């Protein structure tokens, strides 16, 4: 960058601890006008802590910040927004019981009110404009946010943040909740903010995406800033090395292209129809990793729920390999199915329960002895095994899940089902928000499960992982299977995208 770049925001001497955890230790961050700064680091390295302090969702123990050269220390989020800093958070931040329009203007309803009465028609019109402003036309502003698919809820949050016209927009681990269409929208929002001389702080675990989107990055490790890099110096290996403090492999997917699996069927889906899914049939085999891809709203996430008996299809059936019908969720669990939901905060975890209880809950029956008693030791062993294997960063196993970083929450969701010793794994975006090091560990585990003859269906919006890990790939479009691909070293993302859109 040239010398004349203008310093827009500066944070210095930032400290934050949570009990014994030092989340930030003397961290600094400079943001220049007209740039996208990436913030990258392993799960629990302090990215969300730093940015939520900047956005005033929480306060630092010690902090020194300047916006356009002036001391910046607004008391709360609303004041931060007024000063020009907005954030799209890692966790879901829409209210289910409010309409899309009310979500976009939460706290701002006054502008549509005459006296005590809010003019709903006016608010809806403005909400529609706010969505169109970021290129979203498919969301009805009267719908309750709780009725929207996961991706659309995030788009509502982006529209809300952009509508405030911020000088700095912070985007925390949002792209992995979005499919292709949502990402394209996000990138055009980022580009327009950069092009107008404002700035974006962008957090992602996708290193290729970081290298593409960002002009500069800051790397955090265990609450310390360990490096800064300019775009010209970006290399995937270099970034990873700084993140984890040692060399790590660049290619973490399977390196075999055998793609074979047993003829024995583990799950049989026949003519499934629900919502936008019209007619889906396939067999999942023992020892098979079956990847399922498509656009975010193609119905693939609903498919996961149907297979696990959480939603009842209008038509069609799900059966185990030995012909047992799965009609309800309890049938699925009894038949040793496991499921990780994409919507981890609402569906996969109990935030106000301990890490230990979350991991053990699915396995209680298996941990019990003949008398139905659960051995404390067995429970602790199970938790220790999986928290070590997945490197879950926590104070202790009795800590509430709500206090973990986003990626560490996801690891708990994964640990819960690995500990369950299921036969059929239905995984919806299993590595969402997980850092590269642990991603590699999860892929390794999937390969081991495959080798043990387990059947795995992996629904994902990350095409590289679908291609890198699957024995077979199904692409869903318009409620039907539009393409089927066997494992093949020459398969490219563009081959799949052609069948998605």
Residue ranges that bind ligand ATP, judged by CB under 6 A: 18, 21, 23, 41, 43-49, 90, 173, 393, 403-408, 435
164-to-225, 465, 478 alpha-carbon distances in Å = 30, 35, 35
* 99 interacts with, out of Mg ion, ligand ATP, none, CB within 5 to 8 A per kind: none
- How far apart are alpha carbons 41 and 22 in whole angstroms? 15
DSSP class per residue in 438-500: HHHHHHHHHHHHHHTT-EEEEE-S-HHHHHHH-SEEEEEETTEEEEEEE--TT--HHHHHHHH
User: Contact region for Mg ion (CB under 5 A) — 150-158, 307-315, 403-411, 472-480?
Assistant: 403-411
CB of 41 to Mg ion, least distance (A): 9
Q: Which residues contact 312 (CB under 8 A, 6 or more apart)?
A: 274, 306, 327
> What is d(CA 470, CA 304) in angstroms, rounded to the nearest whole number?
16
State both tokens at 49.
Answer: 């802590």
Answer whether 46's CB lies under 8 Å from 223's CB.
Answer: yes
Q: Which does residue 363 touch among Mg ion, ligand ATP, none (CB within 5 to 8 A, set by kind)?
A: none
Q: Which of 89, 90, 177, 218 binds Mg ion (CB under 5 A)?
A: 90
CB atoms within 10 A of CB 143: 14
Measured from the CB of residue 381, what is the shortest distance to ligand ATP in angstroms?
23
**Minimal distance in Å, beta carbon 375 to ligand ATP?**
28
Q: Does 313 bind Mg ion (CB under 5 A)?
A: no
Q: Which residues are CB-neighbours of 234 under 8 A, at least 6 positions away?
A: 210, 211, 217
Crossing angle for the helix pair 150-163 and 120-133, to the nearest 10 degrees: 100
Q: How far apart are CA 372 and CA 364, in angstroms?
A: 9
Q: Is 408 in the site for Mg ion (CB under 5 A)?
A: no
Q: Which is nearer to ligand ATP, 298 or 414 (CB)?
A: 414
The strand ranges marked E within 89-215 are 113-114, 117-118, 168-172, 199-203
In the complex with ligand ATP, the residue whose CB is nearer, 83 or 435, is 435
Minimum separation from the CB atom of position 433 to ligand ATP (A) = 6
| Rounded Cα–Cα distance for residues 121 and 390 (Å) | 50
* Interface segment toward Mg ion; rule CB under 5 A; list 33-41, 86-94, 100-108, 130-138: 86-94
**What minimum distance in Å lies between the beta carbon of 409 and ligand ATP?**
8
Per partner kind, with CB cut-offs from 5 to 8 A, the member of Mg ion, ligand ATP, none near residue 335 is none
Distance CA 59, CA 329 (A): 42
Binding partner of 179, given Mg ion, ligand ATP, none, CB within 5-8 angstroms per partner class = none
Q: Which is nearer to ligand ATP, 43 or 175 (CB)?
A: 43
DSSP 348: I
Cβ closest to ligand ATP, residue 45 vs residue 81: 45
How many CB atoms are closer than 10 A to CB 348?
21
In angstroms, the CA 436 to CA 444 distance is: 12
Among 166, 309, 406, 419, binds Mg ion (CB under 5 A): 406
Work out what residue 293 binds among ligand ATP, Mg ion, none; the CB cut-off runs from 5 to 8 Å by kind. Answer: none
Give the range of 42-50, 382-390, 394-402, 474-482 binding Mg ion by CB under 5 A.
42-50
383 binds, among Mg ion, ligand ATP, none (CB under 5 to 8 A by kind): none
Q: Which is nearer to ligand ATP, 438 or 475 (CB)?
A: 438
Q: How far is the CB of 19 from ligand ATP (least distance, A)?
A: 7
Q: Which residue's Cβ has the minimum distance to ligand ATP?
A: 407
The answer to whether the CB of 473 falls within 8 A of the CB of 277 is no
87 vs 424 by CB, closer to Mg ion: 87
Contacting residues for 32 by C-beta, under 8 A, at least 6 apart: 1, 5, 6, 7, 8, 199
The answer to the question of residue 45 lying near Mg ion (CB under 5 A) is: no
Q: For Mg ion, which is the closer residue by CB, 355 or 469?
A: 355
Choices 90-98, 193-201, 321-329, 335-343 (CB under 5 A): range interacting with Mg ion: 90-98
Task: Give me the sign of the Cα torsion angle 271, 432, 352, 390.
Answer: positive
The one of Mg ion, ligand ATP, none whose footprint includes residue 301, by CB under 5 to 8 A per kind, is none
Please name which of 413, 322, 409 lies closest in space to residue 44, comparing C-alpha atoms. Answer: 409
Nearer to Mg ion, 309 or 407 (CB): 407
| Long-range contacts, stretch 237-241, CB < 8 angstroms, 24+ apart | 239/40, 239/207, 239/210, 239/211, 240/207, 240/436
Cβ 18 to ligand ATP shortest distance, Å:
3
Q: Is 48 in the site for Mg ion (CB under 5 A)?
A: yes
Segment interacting with Mg ion (CB under 5 A) among 109-117, 288-296, 314-322, 400-408: 400-408
Closer CB to ligand ATP, residue 57 or residue 497?
57
> Which of ligand ATP, Mg ion, none does 18 bind, CB closer than 5 to 8 A by kind?
ligand ATP
Tell me if 46 contacts Mg ion by CB under 5 A: no
Contact set with Mg ion (CB under 5 A): 48, 90, 405-406
């Amino acid at each position: 960058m040239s010398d004349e770049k203008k310093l827009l925001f500066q944070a210095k001497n930032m400290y934050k601890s949570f009990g014994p955890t030092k989340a930030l230790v003397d961290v600094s961050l400079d943001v220049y006008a007209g740039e996208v700064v990436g913030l990258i680091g392993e799960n629990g390295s302090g990215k969300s802590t730093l940015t939520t302090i900047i956005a005033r969702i929480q306060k630092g123990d010690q902090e020194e910040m300047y916006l356009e050269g002036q001391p910046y220390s607004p008391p709360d989020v609303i004041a931060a927004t007024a000063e020009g800093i907005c954030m799209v958070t890692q966790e879901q931040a829409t209210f289910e019981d409010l309409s899309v329009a009310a979500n976009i203007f939460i706290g701002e309803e006054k502008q549509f009110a005459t006296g005590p009465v809010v003019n709903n028609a006016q608010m809806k019109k403005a909400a529609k404009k706010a969505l169109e402003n970021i290129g979203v036309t498919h969301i009805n502003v009267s719908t309750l946010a709780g009725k929207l698919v996961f991706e659309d809820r995030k788009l509502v949050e982006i529209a809300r943040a952009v509508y405030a016209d911020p000088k700095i927009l912070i985007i925390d681990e949002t792209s992995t909740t979005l499919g292709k269409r949502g990402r394209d929208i996000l990138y055009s929002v980022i580009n327009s903010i950069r092009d107008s001389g404002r700035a974006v702080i962008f957090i992602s675990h996708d290193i290729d995406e970081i290298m593409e989107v960002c002009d500069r990055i800051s790397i955090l490790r265990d609450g310390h800033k360990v490096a800064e890099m300019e775009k010209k110096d970006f290399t995937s290996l270099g970034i990873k090395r700084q993140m984890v403090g040692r060399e790590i492999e660049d290619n973490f997917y399977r390196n075999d292209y055998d793609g074979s699996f047993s003829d024995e069927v583990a799950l049989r889906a026949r003519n499934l129809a629900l919502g936008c899914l019209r007619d889906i049939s396939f067999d999942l085999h023992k020892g098979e990793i079956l990847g399922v891809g498509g656009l975010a709203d193609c119905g693939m996430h609903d498919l996961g729920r149907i297979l696990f008996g959480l939603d009842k299809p209008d038509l069609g059936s799900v059966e185990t390999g030995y012909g047992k019908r799965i009609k309800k969720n309890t049938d699925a669990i009894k038949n040793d199915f496991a499921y990780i939901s994409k919507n981890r905060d609402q569906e996969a975890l109990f935030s106000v329960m301990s890490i230990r209880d979350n991991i053990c809950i699915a396995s209680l029956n298996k941990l019990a002895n003949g008398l139905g008693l659960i051995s404390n030791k067995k429970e602790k062993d199970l938790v220790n095994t999986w928290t070590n294997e997945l490197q879950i960063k926590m104070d202790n196993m009795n800590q509430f899940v709500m206090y973990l970083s986003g990626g560490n929450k996801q690891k708990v969701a994964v640990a819960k089902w690995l500990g369950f010793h299921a036969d059929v794994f239905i995984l919806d975006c299993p590595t969402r928000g997980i850092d590269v090091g642990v991603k590699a560990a999860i892929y390794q585990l999937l390969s081991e499960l495959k080798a043990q003859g387990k059947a795995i269906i992996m629904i994902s919006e990350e095409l590289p992982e679908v291609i890198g890990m699957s024995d077979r790939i199904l692409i869903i479009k318009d409620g039907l299977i539009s393409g089927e691909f066997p494992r093949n070293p020459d398969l490219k993302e563009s081959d799949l995208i052609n069948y998605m859109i």
